[in-house]
Amino acid sequence: MKQLFLSRTLTIISIVALLAVTAHAQQPEITLLEQAQQLFKPLPQDMATTEFPITPMRVALGRKLFFDARLSLDGTVSCASCHRPALFGTDALPKSIGVEHRLNAHNAPTVLNAALQFKSHWIGDRENVEDQAMKSLTGYASFGNPDTETVIKKIKALGYADNFAQSFPEQKDPIKPENWGIAIGAYERTLVTPSPFDDFLRGNVNALTPQAQRGVNTFIETGCASCHSGIGVGGALFQKFGLVEDYWKAIGSQTLDEGRYSVTKNPNDKYVFKVPSLRNVAKTPPYFHDGSVATLPQAVIVMARVQLGKTLTEQQVADLVAFLNSLTGKLPEDFITELGLPPQALPATTP
């Protein structure tokens, strides 16, 4: 764990060093593409890891479970309720609403490319997409089930026993929340959205309009890329929101969210949040951890001001938005197609 932090710190230092070099030194021979290739990386085919390998069986099961609202307390909430396919894996709400109209603490981030991130949730209180999925089953403001026994009974009653057995053939008793999380995770690890910016990073300079290219340059020169870098264009570290100004005044928050401090109780973590990935950002309003900002230009202006102390020109904002639009990817076919849940109903009770 310490090693991970050390390596992360070194990465940040080297990025900052690189930015210093690219922004200030006279190196006309470095093209924008080369600069971008040093800071960002194109998407892989999928997001399987050694710890979380994916199999076709698990992906197929995870996909069904992702869309099945019957697992929730009152049968109304599935993963897809807050991560709607047609809304690029979000719900377009400031903060998501779970079972019994319970309000979530934060805005729902997209599930697209989410497995790339170093932690899940805005305050990093979930380790990965598997952990996030598993804990949502009994999360108060998500699926709302009282305990894991209830969940296990529901999974069996709905006719998923065979699917679990086939997906975890080495296990004697595979129906458990951990495996629910692993199956959903396997599915989510297939949800990558290759974008024009990925084509650009692979060397096709014409994949970006001249304005979007200017936006890449502004993104690097202004300092945005010091946090929003890597494959996810973000999603790789924590950072204080409001380095220069109080964020809640800048975005008009209705409540004061102390961020990661609520997890660690370490005063250094006050107002610290995960730096979100900017992939598909143009398609996933509203913005920030509490959804306080409705439009992308407004979000860009606020970020430059409160994080970097900079006032952007209208042209810079337009260029940055053009670049951010190039991060909009193609929705995976088996995300926008909903298919074949087992047809069983749970034993009838009037809620």
Residues that bind a copy of itself (CB under 8 A): 67-70, 74-76, 81, 84-88, 91-95, 97, 99-101, 103, 254-255, 282-286, 290-294, 336-341, 343-351
Q: How far is the CB of 344 from a copy of itself (least distance, A)?
A: 7
- Which C-beta is closer to a copy of itself: that of 255 or that of 313? 255
Q: How far is the CB of 88 from a copy of itself (least distance, A)?
A: 7
* 3-state DSSP assignment of residue 246: coil
Q: How far is the CB of 333 from a copy of itself (least distance, A)?
A: 9
What's the gap between Cα 287 and its chain centre? 13
Residue holding tokens 């300079």?
205
- Calculate helix-pair angle for 177-188, 129-136, nearest 10 degrees: 130
| CA angle (333 as vertex; 331, 335 as ends), nearest 5 | 75
CA distance linking residue 12 with residue 22, whole number of Å: 15
Q: Which residues of 285-314 are buried (b: 16+ CB within 10 A; e: fewer)?
A: bbbbbbbbbeebebbbbbbbbbbbeeebee
- Which C-beta is closer to a copy of itself: that of 23 or that of 103? 103
- Which C-beta is closer to a copy of itself: that of 26 or that of 349? 349
Q: How far is the CB of 189 from a copy of itself (least distance, A)?
A: 21
What's the gap between Cα 342 and its chain centre? 29
Cβ within 8 Å of residue 182, ≥6 positions away: 52, 58, 62, 130, 168
Going by their DSSP bridges, the two strands 272-274 and 238-240 should be labelled as: antiparallel
Q: How far is the CB of 151 from a copy of itself (least distance, A)?
A: 16
Q: How far is the CB of 62 from a copy of itself (least distance, A)?
A: 14
- Which C-beta is closer to a copy of itself: that of 28 or that of 351? 351
Residue 188 contacts residue 61 (beta carbons within 8 Å): no
CA distance linking residue 189 with residue 114, whole number of Å: 8
Q: How far is the CB of 93 from a copy of itself (least distance, A)?
A: 5
- Which C-beta is closer to a copy of itself: that of 38 or that of 193? 193
CA atoms within 13 A on the CB side of 183: 26
- Which C-beta is closer to a copy of itself: that of 205 or that of 294? 294
309, two tokens: 């102390």
- Pick from 190, 240, 221: nearest CA to 323: 221
Task: Give yes or no for a cis peptide into 286 (omega within 30° of 0).
Answer: yes
Q: How far is the CB of 156 from a copy of itself (least distance, A)?
A: 15
- Which C-beta is closer to a copy of itself: that of 72 or that of 179? 72
Q: How far is the CB of 329 from a copy of itself (least distance, A)?
A: 13
- Which C-beta is closer to a copy of itself: that of 54 or that of 251? 251
- Which C-beta is closer to a copy of itself: that of 38 or that of 284? 284
